[in-house]
Structure 1
Amino acid sequence: SSFARIQADADTLTLAGTIDSSTNSSTSVVLQGASAITVTGQVTGSGGLISGSANVGPGSIRTVSNDTNNFTGRAQASGGVLAFTSVANAGTASALGAGTVTPTIGLASGTSNATLSYIGTDPLGHSTTRDINLGSGTLGDHTATIEANGTGPLGLGPVSSTTTGTKTLVLTGTNTGGNSIGAITPGTATAVSVTKDGAGTWILTGANTYAGNTTVNNGTLALADNAQLKFVLGATSGVNNSLSGAGTVSLEGDFVIDTAAADSLPSGSWTLENVTTLP
Structure 2
Amino acid sequence: MRKTIQTTASLLIISCLAPFVSPVRAAAIYKTADDNNLNLTTSWVTNSLGVVHPSNIGATDALIFDNTMGASRALSLGDDMTVGGLRLDGTSGYHLTINSGNTLTLNGASATDIAYAGAGFVLNSAAGGTLTVNCDVIVNTAQQWVSSRALTINGNTSLGTNTLTLNAAGAGIITLAGIVTGSKAAGNNALFLSSSIAGGTVRLLNPSNSFTGNIELGGGLRTILEFNSAGSLGNTAQLRFRNTGGTGSILRYTGNTAAIVPANFQCDSSLGIRLESDSVGGSVTFSGTWNASSSSRPVALGGSGTGDNTISGSIIGSTLTKYGSGKWILAAANSYAGGTTLSGGTLGLGNNGALGSGSLNITGAATLLATTNLSGTSKIANPVTMGGNLTIDGDRDLELGGTLTSSGSNSRTLTVRNGGLTILSGHLYLAEDNTTTGRTLTLDGDGVTVISGNIHNNNFGNTVAAGLTINNAAAHVILSGVNDYTGATLVNAGTLFINGTHTASDITIHTGTFGGTGTVGNVIINGGTLSPGNSVGTLTVGNLTLTNGVQLAFELGTPGASDLVIVTNALSFTGMETNWFILSAVSGFGVGTYTLFDALSYGSSTLGSGTNFDDIAGTGLSGYLWLDPDNQDVKLTVVPEPSAGVLVGMGLFTLLALRRWRGDNP
Considering the TM-score relative to the shorter chain, is it more than 0.5?
Answer: yes
Offset, 1:40: 1.0
State whether structure 2 residue 228 is matched by structure 1 residue 85: yes
Aligned to 2:249: 114
Aligned to 1:264: none
Query: Superposition pairs for residues 194-233 of structure 1, below 5 Å?
Result: 194-225=320-351, 228-231=354-357
2:302 to 166, 172, 187: 172
Q: Which amino acid aligns with 2:213?
A: G
State whether structure 2 residue 152 is matched by structure 1 residue 14: yes
The count of corresponding residues between Structure 1 and Structure 2 is: 233
State whether structure 2 residue 368 is matched by structure 1 residue 249: yes
Aligned to 1:263: none
Does the 8 Å CA contact 2:337/2:356 hold for their aligned counterparts? yes
Distance 1:256 1:111 in 2: 36
Structure whose residues are more often helix by fraction:
2
Q: Which amino acid aligns with 2:167?
A: Q
Distance 1:207 1:55 in 2: 37
Query: Superposition pairs for residues 29-44 of structure 1, below 5 Å?
Result: 29-34=164-169, 35-44=172-181
Offset, 1:173: 1.4
Query: Superposition pairs for residues 31-180 of structure 1, below 5 Å?
Result: 31-34=166-169, 35-47=172-184, 48-58=189-199, 60-78=200-218, 79-87=222-230, 94-99=231-236, 101=237, 104-111=238-245, 113-122=248-257, 125-135=258-268, 140-151=269-280, 152-163=282-293, 166-180=296-310
Q: Which amino acid aligns with 1:5?
A: Q
Does the 8 Å CA contact 1:132/1:157 hold for their aligned counterparts? no
2:321 alignment partner, SS class: strand
Distance 1:164 1:132 in 2: 8
Does the 8 Å CA contact 2:256/2:283 hold for their aligned counterparts? no
State whether structure 2 residue 143 is matched by structure 1 residue 4: yes
What stretches of structure 1 of length at least 5 have no aligned partner? Answer: 88-93, 232-240, 259-270
Offset, 1:197: 0.7
Distance 1:134 1:184 in 2: 14
Does the 8 Å CA contact 1:196/1:217 hold for their aligned counterparts? yes
Offset, 1:256: 8.3
2:229 alignment partner, SS class: coil
* Bigger relative CO (Cα 8 Å, ≥ 6 apart): 1
Query: Superposition pairs for residues 240-279 of structure 1, below 5 Å?
Result: 241-245=358-362, 246=364, 247-251=366-370, 252-253=373-374, 254=378, 273-274=403-404, 277-278=423-424
Does the 8 Å CA contact 2:279/2:307 hold for their aligned counterparts? no
Distance 2:152 2:192 in 1: 15
Does the 8 Å CA contact 1:108/1:144 hold for their aligned counterparts? no
* Distance verdict in 2 for CA 1:166–1:3, change over 3 Å: farther
Does the 8 Å CA contact 2:241/2:272 hold for their aligned counterparts? no
Does the 8 Å CA contact 1:184/1:210 hold for their aligned counterparts? no
1:74 alignment partner, SS class: strand
Q: Which amino acid aligns with 1:6?
A: W
Offset, 1:166: 4.1
Does the 8 Å CA contact 1:105/1:133 hold for their aligned counterparts? yes
Q: Deviations over 1:120-178 (max 9, x none)?
A: 133xx21123222223xxxx410421111112011112452453684221111111121
Distance 1:57 1:12 in 2: 15
How much identity, in percent, do the aligned residues show? Answer: 25
Distance 1:162 1:31 in 2: 27
Q: Deviations over 1:234-276 (max 9, x none)?
A: xxxxxxx311113222245546879xxxxxxxxxxxx953369
Does the 8 Å CA contact 2:300/2:322 hold for their aligned counterparts? yes
What stretches of structure 2 of length at least 5 have no aligned partner? Answer: 1-140, 383-400, 407-422, 425-448, 450-666
TM-score, with length taken from structure 2:
0.32
State whether structure 2 residue 333 is matched by structure 1 residue 182: no
* Distance verdict in 2 for CA 1:52–1:193, change over 3 Å: same
Offset, 1:226: 6.6
Q: Deviations over 1:3-57 (max 9, x none)?
A: 4211113x2111123222222xxx4211103111111121111134435233133
2:235 alignment partner, SS class: coil
Q: Which amino acid aligns with 1:199?
A: S
